[in-house]
Amino acid sequence: MQPFEDIDVLDLTQSIAGPVATQFLGALGANVVKVEPVEGDRFRNVLDGAMFASVNLADKRSVCLDLKSDAGKRAASDLAAEADVVVESFRPGVMERFGLDYESVAADNEDVVYLSLTGFGQDGPYSDRPAYDPIIQAMSGLMSTIGYPDRPPVRIGASVIDWGTGTTAAFSLASALLHREATGEGQRIDVNLFEVAVTWMGYWISHYSGSGENPERSGQGFAGLAPNEVFNVAGDGNIYMCVFTDGMFADLCDALDREELVTDERFETNDARWAHRETLKEILEDEFADYDREELCEQLATVGIPAGPVQSVEELVEDDPHLAARELLVESHNVLTDTPVETAGVPFTTSEGRPDISGRPPELGEHTRAVLEELGYDDETVSRMLAAADIAD
C-alpha cells in the first residue's frame, strides 16, 4: 500500500512548483485531480510541451472548469468538499472570488489540508505581486552571487526555486496529513517561493550578519575558497573540483605528485591560495593536461577530493553510467507534440524501491466527465455544462 493511497488531492495550480508538489504526492499513491481553465494550464505549451511533461505525471487526471462561471465554481466547490488536500497557486484574494478560499472550503470540509503556494506569501508588502522563479532568484540575493564580478549577475538555468518550493510544499502537506491523522484537525499552509529561496541563502545571510560583507561573485568558483572552481582538462572538457581545507589541498598535491606546492608560501593557507588563485589554477591545469576527465575524477576521488565532469544534458542522459545505474529517468509523453520523452523521476528510494511516476500527463480535460460523474453529476447535467462552456473535455 502506498502511504497516500486513500488521499484525494485537488490540484488548482499551474506552472512548476504546485505541480511538483502534487506529483510527489501522486507518486506515493494520492489520487490527484488537476483542475485547469478551459483553455488549459498556461504552461502546457512552454518549451514545446516539455515543461508540462515533466511535472504532471503520477496519473494526474485533468478536469477543465471555467471558475468564472457559476456552474464551474459549483463543480470546483463540490470537488473541494470531497478532497483531503487542496493545493492552489493563485495570488492572495483570488480564491475568495471563486468561493474556494480556505474558509469557504473548510466550512464544508473542516478537516481539509489546504495549501496556498504563491510568490511571496499571503501577507506582506509584496504579497500581491506576480512572481516566477527567476524573479525570486533575483530578489532573494541568489542571483547576486552568480557570475563574474565585472559582469552583470546571471540566473541559474533551471527552475531550482520552483522545484525546491514544490518539494517543501509536498513535505509540509505530508506533515499536515500526519497531524490530521493524530488529531483529526485540518490545517492551512502558506508556502512561497521567496521564503524558500531566502532559506537557501542561509549561510550567506549568516556570513553577512557576522561580517557585514556581501558575497563576491566569483565566476566559475566559490568566493573565498581555492582551488574550488571549473578547471580545463586536456582536450576533454572541464571538471569542477572542490578543495575546502589545507588538509584536502595536501591530499590533492600528493595525488598529483606535487608535494612542494603545500609548502609554497603562496599556497600554504586558504587565504593565500585565494589571493594567488589564478597562478594556482594555471599550475593545476598544466598538471590536468595529462588526464582525461573521468581518469582525473577517479584519481581525485581515491584521496577524497570531490570532483566531477561538467556535463551537457546530452552527456548526462546518454552517457552517464551512474544515472543509468540508479534508473532515475522515467518515460513520459509530450502531449503537445504527441511524442514519447524521458524525464526525471522521484529522487528517492524506499525499502520498496523508487516510486514510479512513468506514464503520460493528462490531455486537457481528459477526465472532466469521469470525475464529475464520480461526484454524482448525471449525464444530462454534464452535457448541459459542456454546451454552456462551463467545462471542457
Q: Could you list the active site residues?
A: 162
Do 64 and 393 form a contact (C-beta atoms < 8 A)?
A: yes
Instruction: Tell me the one-letter amino acid at 144.
Output: S
Give the residue from 59, 112, 81 showing the smallest Cα distance to 355.
Answer: 59
Cα–Cα distance between 220 and 238 in angstroms, integer? 11
In whole angstroms, what is the distance from residue 98 CA to residue 67 CA? 6
Residue 217 φ then ψ, to 5°:
-65, 130
Beta strands per DSSP E along the chain: 8-12, 31-36, 61-65, 85-88, 113-118, 187-192, 228-232, 238-242, 307-309, 329-334, 339-344, 391-392
User: Are the beta carbons of 127 and 159 closer than 8 angstroms?
Assistant: no
Q: Alpha-carbon torsion 129, 132, 136, 139, what sign?
A: negative
C-alpha cell at 357: 511516476
Sheet holding 228-232, edge to edge: 228-232, 238-242, 307-309
Which amino acid is it at 28?
A: L
Residue 330 bridge partners (DSSP): 343
Could you tell me the end-to-end alpha-carbon distance of the chain, in angstroms, rounded to an integer?
31
DSSP-assigned letters across all residues of 53-118: HHHS-TT-EEEEE-TTSHHHHHHHHHHHHH-SEEEE-PPTTHHHHHT-SHHHHHHH-TT-EEEEEE
